[in-house]
């Protein structure tokens, strides 16, 4: 992946999933070197979190996620042959000792799909949460 691989994500987004909705604001900051995400689930049981992503010429994309529940995640980014962007944990994490990943797919100028998946072995992935992103119009 290259240094501008996350440009599709920059902007203001409406987010919808099976039983909820939210908003996400994604910007480039610090001389365009850092992609900053601020996510908020709206409605009952609102949830807030943020991520910072940076591109390293040697190591590629890295992302750190934190949220209001006290969660902390470290991800490594890559691209799939179908044009999808993936950020995954480099090792099994949490009490369930599973690998986790986010998959950005169906990327178009005004929307894309985001999936949260887990796997016991980083090969057999199970979908846990899917969000449809639609670009917000001012």
**pLDDT tens-digit map of 12-48:** 999 999 999 999 999 999 999 999 999 999 987 789 9
Q: Domains, the chain, ranges and CATH?
A: 7-135 (2.40.128.20)
Burial class (CB in 10 A: 0-12, 13-18, 19+), 50: middle
Q: Which tokens in the block code for residue 62?
A: 């890295």
- Confidence band for 79, pLDDT divided at 50, 70 and 90: confident
Instruction: Please say if the pLDDT value at position 83 is more than 90.
Output: no
Nearest to 52 by CA among 63, 38, 40: 63
Q: Is the pTM of this model over 0.85?
A: yes
Distance of CA 118 to the CA centre of its chain: 14
- Confidence band for 138, pLDDT divided at 50, 70 and 90: low
Q: Around Cβ 101, how many Cβ atoms within 10 Å?
A: 18
Nearest to 6 by CA among 30, 22, 39, 28: 28
Residue 32 confidence (pLDDT): 95
Nearest to 114 by CA among 52, 33, 37: 37
What is the length of the chain?
Answer: 138
């Amino acid at each position: 992946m290259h240094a501008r691989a996350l440009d599709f994500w920059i902007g203001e987004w409406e987010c919808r999933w099976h039983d909820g909705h939210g908003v996400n604001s994604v910007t480039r900051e610090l001389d365009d070197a850092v992609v900053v995400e601020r996510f908020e689930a709206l409605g009952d049981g609102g949830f807030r979190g943020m991520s910072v992503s940076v591109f390293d010429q040697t190591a590629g994309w890295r992302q750190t996620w934190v949220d209001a529940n006290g969660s902390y995640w470290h991800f490594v980014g890559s691209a799939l042959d179908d044009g999808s962007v993936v950020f995954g944990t480099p090792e099994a994490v949490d009490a369930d000792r599973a690998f986790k990943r986010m998959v950005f797919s169906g990327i178009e100028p005004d929307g894309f799909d985001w999936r949260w998946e887990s796997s016991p072995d980083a090969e057999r992935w199970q979908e846990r949460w899917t969000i449809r992103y639609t670009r917000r119009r001012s």
